Amino acid sequence: MASDESYTTEEIAKLLKISKLTVYDLIKKGELPSYRVGKQMRIDAADLDAYKQRAKGIAFAERPLPAAEAAPPPAFAARPAGVRPLVITGQDVSLDILAKHLEQRLPGARPLRAHVGSMDSLIAMYKGEADIVSTHLLEGETGRYNLPYIRKLLVGASYLVVHLLARKAGLYVARGNPLGLRGWDDLGRPGLRLVNRERGSGARVLLDEQLLLRGMKPDRLLGYDLVRTNHLGVAAEVAAGGADVGVGSEKAASLVEDVDFIPLIDEQYDLVVLKHAASRPWIPELLGILRSDAFKRELQAIAGYDLSRTGEVLHET
């Protein structure tokens, strides 16, 4: 490998044949030194080589070694000291702003962004692969956001749930709403073409809950299996004429031409943090950022956010 070559986390995952979340876990543990270029994390080829050599050394560690061979390989000396990556999951732009503030307020931390859906984020936290998780999962029967899912997935854990923001969720339709769609009930129209989000995303859970409440069968919806992995992708599919309707947040509609937005629900967007020895030192800083005027001013510049409860602790165990 050339000494000046570097890789994205996705490329590392493919090279090592592991998941991207496992790559983030290696970064978080300090086993893969990384740095950020814009919003993207990079790993130098030399550091990848060093990690592979260390991994090979671990494989041989189970057999007794002569004293002369017992010293750790020199690659260990290259591991950066005092830097702790913090993995923040979710796709909303507010999380990028949060990562920037954390980087400024916590010199010993390196915020990393994992763009995954709400359910996968909570699962990653359960596995120890995420530090700050964002979630917007609606339980249809109670109309409550997030806590029902958090309690089920983080049983026995000590955690903090903090409100980040509220935003409108609803339907993306073509400019001018030529089909005259008004609400969830219209999704049952024969021949209506849907574009969906991936399983576990907040938008997918919202759609499924609304269908369940109305007794609609997902397999009866044309395009239910047509999946895009973010709000922009769903809105763009509607704008391009590949679908008549999709579910998502208001912000994405403002970024895509030829799409109108029908607001249907106020979506609650919360953060979850596990409470343990490693997180306790920076949790007060996180709360301080969320409640600060500087952070809120940046979010206020983005249309569609309700920040009236930002930084409020909703639940703590």
Tell me the pLDDT tens digit for each residue of 11-23. Answer: 888 888 887 767 7
State the pLDDT at residue 141.
86
State the pLDDT at residue 234.
96
Sign of CA dihedral 213, 214, 219, 225: negative
Does 66 have pLDDT greater than 70?
no
Does 53 have pLDDT greater than 80?
no
**Quick one: tokens of 298?**
């940046």
State the pLDDT at residue 77.
30
* pTM score, whole prediction: 0.71
Confidence at 83, pLDDT banded by 50, 70, 90: low
State the pLDDT at residue 24.
73
Residue 122 has φ and ψ, to the nearest 5°, of -65, -40
For residue 281, give Cα distances in angstroms to 196, 271, 276.
Answer: 40, 17, 9
Q: Angle formed by the axes of helices 283-290 and 93-105, to 10°?
A: 120
In sequence order, the β-bridge partners of residue 162 are 271, 313
Q: Nearest to residue 251, comparing CAs of 195, 194, 308, 167? A: 167
State the pLDDT at residue 198.
93
Integer Cα distance of 234 and 259 in angstroms: 10
Listed range (72-86, 139-153, 170-184, 284-298) with the worst mean pLDDT: 72-86
**Quick one: tokens of 208?**
């499924």
Confidence at 69, pLDDT banded by 50, 70, 90: very low
Confidence at 57, pLDDT banded by 50, 70, 90: low
Average pLDDT value for the chain: 87
Does 61 have pLDDT greater than 70?
no
Tens-digit pLDDT profile for residues 192-235: 999 999 998 999 999 999 999 999 999 999 999 999 989 999 99
State the pLDDT at residue 38.
63
State the pLDDT at residue 268.
97
Please state whether beta strands 132-135 and 259-274 pair in parallel, antiparallel, or not at all (unpaired): antiparallel
Q: Are 92 and 134 in contact (CB under 8 A)?
A: yes
State the pLDDT at residue 50.
81
What are the start-end ranges of the H helices in the chain?
9-16, 20-28, 45-60, 93-105, 118-126, 147-153, 202-213, 231-239, 250-255, 283-290, 293-300
